[in-house]
């Protein structure tokens, strides 16, 4: 709680002298003696610069906002870990803003962005964020990096190779011998969802397999919606022998629902999912997944935001290293026959 002027008094100098010495700017003219006295006084008083004062003067808060659809899923956790770690190296703090269950008319996003609380924002648009919210975010004038979506307005983005990932997943099923393959995707308005679907369709087309419309669903990425997707497919006269699920959270829902419906995985139906979080291993059966670098995505997002804050550059980056990788576990097998 010691202030600059406390230190100044104790060292017998002016506050400006203390400020200059402690901030260690090159080219300050202070004698060795006073420099020493200032350092001593600061140490004795356990001086720490007051963040709010600094932020007011410099209009830099050294904090960024992370806007996410929800915090209770493993994908968020991985992403968060990457963001957190990169933020630490940049001497930044992370403010979480979850859009989950936001009451109607709640304006926490505009407030987060409009009050000068953060220097920039990382946004992962969920399925349910409105165009209004999007506009608020992009119109704020703050540096924004959108995660896994190309931002229609200004601002940069970081993305994964969704298309390649889904191709990999689909090819795996095709190689196993499946021909009637279903797709459980996200809501069609989502841009990354479109890329994932494209990857699936490409792989199917490349193998000269037809994709029947009723085998392509777009309920969403939550477990419940995965369950819905499976329900829809199970009702068909000839259900698919394998399903590509565009999100691992939804895949967990698919698995639960399969158990409920008495569909054996992988004997009756193979499941391959997008994203490889730690929950893939504890699931039953352990999920065959495509691993995309979520942690690196988080790091890259934070790094890009930092660049954007400090130099105004805004680029759209694709995180391709490490490359998408198929992790084969026990939820996929050749079709029964």
Is residue 130 involved in binding DNA (CB under 7 A)? no
Pairing status of strand 316-319 against strand 270-274:
unpaired
Tally of CB atoms within 10 A around 334:
14
Give the residue with the Cβ less far from DNA, 41 or 289.
41
User: Which of 265, 196, 251, 289 is CA-nearest to residue 73?
Assistant: 251
Q: Are 45 and 7 in contact (CB under 8 A)?
A: yes
Q: Which is nearer to a second copy, 83 or 181 (CB)?
A: 83
What's the rounded Cα separation, in Å, for the pair 248 and 121? 26
Smallest distance, Å, CB 95 to a second copy? 5
Select from 123, 158, 118 the least CA-distant residue to 137.
Answer: 123
61 binds, among DNA, a second copy, none (CB under 5 to 8 A by kind): a second copy
- d(CA 314, CA 223) in angstroms, rounded, equals 34
Question: Considering CB distances under 5 to 8 angstroms, the limit depending on partner class, which of a second copy, DNA, none binds residue 106?
Answer: a second copy
Stretch that binds a second copy, among 102-110, 126-134, 237-245, 304-312 (CB under 8 A): 102-110
**259-288: contacts with a second copy (CB under 8 A):** 278-279, 281-285
Task: State the nearest-atom distance from the C-beta of 4 to DNA, in Å.
Answer: 3
> According to CB under 7 A, which one of 49, 114, 177, 188 is a site residue for DNA?
49
Contacting range for DNA; rule: CB under 7 A; set: 43-51, 147-155, 169-177, 208-216: 43-51
Cα 251 vs. chain centroid, distance in angstroms? Answer: 18
Terminal-to-terminal C-alpha distance of the chain: 74
Q: Nearer Cβ to DNA, position 46 or 72?
A: 46
Across 119-152, b (16+ Cβ under 10 Å) vs e yields bbbbbbbbbebeeebbebbbebebbbbbbbbebe
17 vs 129, beta carbon nearer DNA: 17
The dihedral through the CA atoms of 186, 109, 73, 278 has a sign that is positive
Does residue 48 belong to the site contacting a second copy (CB under 8 A)?
yes
Question: Residue 33 or residue 337: which is nearer to DNA going by CB?
Answer: 33
Q: Which stretch binds a second copy (CB under 8 A): 12-20, 84-92, 164-172, 266-274?
A: 84-92
∠ CA 73-214-180, nearest 5°, is 85
Q: Is 285 helix (H, G, I), strand (E, B) or coil?
A: coil
Site of interaction with a second copy (CB under 8 A): 1, 46, 48-53, 55-56, 59, 61, 63, 71-74, 76-78, 80-81, 84-85, 88, 93-98, 100-101, 106, 108, 110-112, 114-117, 141, 223, 252, 255-256, 278-279, 281-285
Residues forming contacts to DNA in the complex (CB under 7 A) are 3-5, 12-17, 19-20, 22-23, 25, 29-31, 33-35, 47-50, 53-54, 56-59
């Amino acid at each position: 709680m010691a202030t600059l002027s406390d230190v100044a008094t104790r060292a017998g100098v002016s506050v400006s002298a203390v400020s200059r010495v402690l901030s260690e700017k090159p080219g300050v003219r202070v004698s060795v003696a006073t420099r020493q006295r200032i350092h001593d006084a600061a140490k004795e008083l356990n001086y720490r610069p007051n963040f709010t004062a600094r932020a007011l003067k410099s209009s830099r808060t050294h904090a960024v906002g992370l806007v996410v659809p929800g915090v209770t899923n493993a994908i968020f956790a991985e992403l968060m870990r990457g963001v957190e770690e990169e933020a630490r190296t940049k001497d930044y703090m992370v403010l979480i803003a979850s859009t989950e269950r936001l009451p109607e008319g709640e304006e926490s996003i505009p407030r987060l962005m409009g009050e000068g609380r953060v220097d920039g924002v990382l946004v992962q648009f969920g399925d349910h964020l409105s165009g209004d919210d999007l506009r608020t975010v992009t119109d704020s004038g703050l540096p924004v990096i959108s995660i896994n979506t190309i931002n229609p307005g200004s601002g940069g983005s970081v993305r994964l190779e969704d298309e390649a990932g889904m191709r990999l997943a689909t090819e795996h099923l095709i190689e196993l011998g499946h021909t009637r393959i279903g797709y459980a995707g996200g809501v069609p308005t989502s841009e990354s969802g479109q890329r994932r679907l494209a990857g699936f369709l490409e792989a199917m087309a490349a193998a000269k397999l037809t994709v029947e419309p009723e085998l392509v669903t777009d309920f969403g990425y939550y477990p419940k919606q995965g369950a819905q997707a499976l329900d829809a497919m199970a009702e068909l006269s000839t259900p698919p022998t394998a399903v590509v699920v565009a999100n691992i959270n939804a895949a967990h829902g698919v698995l639960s629902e399969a158990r409920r419906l008495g569909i054996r995985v992988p004997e009756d139906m193979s499941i391959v999912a997008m994203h490889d979080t730690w929950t893939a291993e504890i699931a039953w059966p352990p999920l065959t997944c495509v691993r995309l670098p979520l942690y690196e995505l988080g790091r890259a997002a934070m790094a890009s935001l930092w660049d954007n804050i400090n130099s105004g550059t805004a680029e759209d980056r694709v995180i391709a290293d490490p490359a998408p990788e198929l992790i084969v576990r026990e939820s996929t097998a050749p079709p029964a026959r």
